Amino acid sequence: GTTSGARRWLRAAVAAEGVPACLAAGRPVRPPPEPFDLRWLGPDGVVEPLRVLEDFVAEARRTLSLRCARCAARRGCAGIPWAMGRDLGLAVLRPIRRR
């Protein structure tokens, strides 16, 4: 299914960017790079602030599972983008046990 495919892809990655530690499959997690999307440019080549804002809001809306409350990595975790949670389901988030 979609969940197992996402997990296989994450296991193959050297490091994970912008995902919770529970989805990183033991890989180091680093923050996502600051994006620059060419769709932000208008026909004249000038950045359109509204387009930038729309993308920022879409990415900034993040969610966590209720199970994440007991995760060892919860303190620094921003969760997953809301759209990813909607598409894959919150069951992909598996809390890391405290030691």
Q: Please give the model's pTM, rounded to 2 decimal places.
A: 0.52
**Residue 26 to residues 15, 47, 81, 84, 95, Cα–Cα distance (Å):** 9, 38, 20, 20, 13
Domain ranges of the chain: 2-92
- Per-residue pLDDT tens over the stretch 23-65: 877 778 877 777 778 888 999 999 999 988 888 777 778 889 9
